[in-house]
Structure 1
Amino acid sequence: MPTVGQALARAHHEEWARVVAGLARRFGDLDVAEEATAEAFAAAAERWPREGVPPNPGGWLATTATRKAIDWLRRESQRDAKHEAARLVFDDTPPEPAGSVEDDRLRLVFTCCHPALAMEARVALTLRLLGGLTVAEIARAFLAQETAMARRITRAKTKIKLARIPYRVPSADDISERLAGVLAVVYLIFNEGYLAGQGQDLVRADLTDQAIHLGRLLRSLRPDDGEVAGLLALMLFTDARRPARVSRTGELVPLGEQDRGAWDRTLIAEGNALVRERIGAVAAGGGPPGRYQLQAAINAVHMEARSVQDTNWSTIVALYGRLVLLDPSPIVRLNRAVAIAEVDGPEAGLAEIDRLTAALDDYHAFHAARADLLRRLGRGGASRAAYDRAIGLAGNPAERAFLTRRRDQLTG
């Protein structure tokens, strides 16, 4: 039987977004929804150890939060004026026939990730209102001052109020475009956790876990959307390699040198099921795969290989070729060049990489890739210079340690 602490943690993980979204719909105020939900969980932490965990923790929290919200509003001396000023803009169309709880959370997703908000505001608001992280936790995650992060969240909610941003699911005509923005927010959170740009830790498990939690939430809300499934599969595959990514000495371990026996097979199996599902949907006429589905497919090829030598690099190059057509960004082209080097040799890969110099000269991974291919070609001096440049640009000590070791292994 789970302990009270475990029950609280599970309820927070599963119910926070549901309760916040339900209160936001009922009271039309994100501040009220957030404050009342936090008070309900505080009440649970105080009462459940004495009274026991209720049979329906989610219902208990929702009821308690509703009462807290009503009390919170009653305490305001100018409740009516304040509530009207804070009111979100609601969709006038009748509610969807689906379950209201699911609709509430989906509305909250699109509100937090509205394109009128700056990307850093979308990330902070998503982690606060959907992930349930405290302001202090969000500030630590992005190495920001807590007061600055609190102001960022407050400004985001104020902009929602003043700009009268609708609390609703977008219309069918623009949902694909808006959903792409939501997925970008979730992937940004994941990437910041998977390869922290600053700080001492290479991996921030708190952020990668939150991103996967949000991905599963989106999957439950949009089960037929291929890009939602693709992003979730991509994050699962990537996170499955987490146990093998850092050595005992705190050094980055690249994919080719990782102990594949340490990879999380449960996450890999979940990711493979999603990829197979999307392959079947595309074969059945469900439309061509998007960028996240293609990235997931690339990772699936890596995950099935017993070693880097056994990897089907030709398939990976072909998948990157399709991805470049959708996303011709320099980063995607850099990854494709690295795969080309495995198929056609380091000279061919280096030629592709050198075409990206102007776009990626300030990106450490570009110089690290060049350094590796120059090393394989026996051009030690040029490789050393590229490693030096990569080390100077790398923001994480685990990456710098790996690059420094590789540079110091050069001879001649």
Structure 2
Amino acid sequence: MGSKVVRSLVFCVDTNPPRLQWLLQEFRLLVNRSIRIAIRGDIRSRFRLTQAAYRTLSAEHNVYKQYIPSAFGVALGLLKAYRRRMRRGRTTKVPYLHRLILKAENQSYRLDRDTGRIRIPIRGTEGIQFDLPLSTWHRSILQDSSWGLGSLTVSSGRIIVAVRRGAPDPYEPVGAVALDANESSLDGVAAHDGDARLVTIPFPEVRVVQATHFRRRRRLAREKTHDHRVMRRLLAREGLRERNRVRQRLHLVSKGLVTAAETRRAAVVLENLQMPSGGGRDRKVRRRLSSWPRGELLRQIEYKALAAGVPVIKVNPQWTSKTCPVCGARRRDRVGQDFVCQMCDWEMDRQHNAGLNILKTALVSNETLARAVRFQPGALRNDVVIPLCDLPALLACARDEPSGAESLS
């Protein structure tokens, strides 16, 4: 079976009607009861949980019966994370779902893809209808018959409809874009038709947004220390604003990269990075590394590349910024902003040097890419770094900071 591309259509609606609130509360109760039953019987599969609990829960909860298996899936997902923490020796509590939420499979609801009217069953023939606010982007997805309807999620103020379709087969690349992920940019090399150029995709606005919201959260924590309930609510709101603004900018970066690679029919080559350890670093550095949205950026690049049929190649990140791409010598000492080889006097910006090594590693491990790409690292010694895509034009539509926000200066 081929890969599937899944997208989430988010609609802001009023979820306060009493009947819907009752349904959300019943679903939460189903999930929490399923958790207790699964723990008591050491159940780890939906089939066994259905055998143990479906009949009892179906008799005691007068809801649409398709919601009960969905509640089993949510409960087992929470228990999987709980058991993982237990195996790692972490102190943790038995999971309990506090949020009001409803998850349903695509056979449980009806959606008119032209008008946006959705019917969510409650029990038997009883249901509740909503008119979803369709934007131009929503209509472009819903009116495309290649997208099939997936699961439905209802939470406070939002209805989320998942859509899915088969991913196109990746094309055979005739070039490559190899990038080193850094805190404020993606830097590397683009090779195509025997020509190679040093490229960069800067996104310094992400760090500006993070620094601004960090200071605002710290100020709120000092001012509202007398009322922890208000403080938690305000801090959660600031965190949500920060995540939304960072995610929007990362979407523009990932879209620009995938579009540029698709235009060149190039493969995207990235490092298979893991979360860096915080050991041996001071608190400021640990906070900066933990807030680095590397994982979110790579996730967006991968799923957008999958949807566009752009091949993505991951390589081992070890020694990429400390290896000379010309002679292969390694420096074990800490490299500054510029990498200088002590054997052949090769000198280049450390981040672009890593991009060259990432591409070399991909050429060694991928025969198809090696046939298509030819480049000599030494020819790029004095090359001028160019932007891979017109990112400033994309970022011009990014939402600015609210009035009253602090600046870095």
Q: Normalising by structure 2, what TM-score? A: 0.29
Structure (1/2) with the larger strand percentage? 2
Q: Normalising by structure 1, what TM-score? A: 0.29
Structure (1/2) with the larger helix percentage? 1
Q: RCO greater where, 1 or 2, for CA within 8 Å and sep 6 or more?
A: 2
Radius of gyration: which is bigger? 2
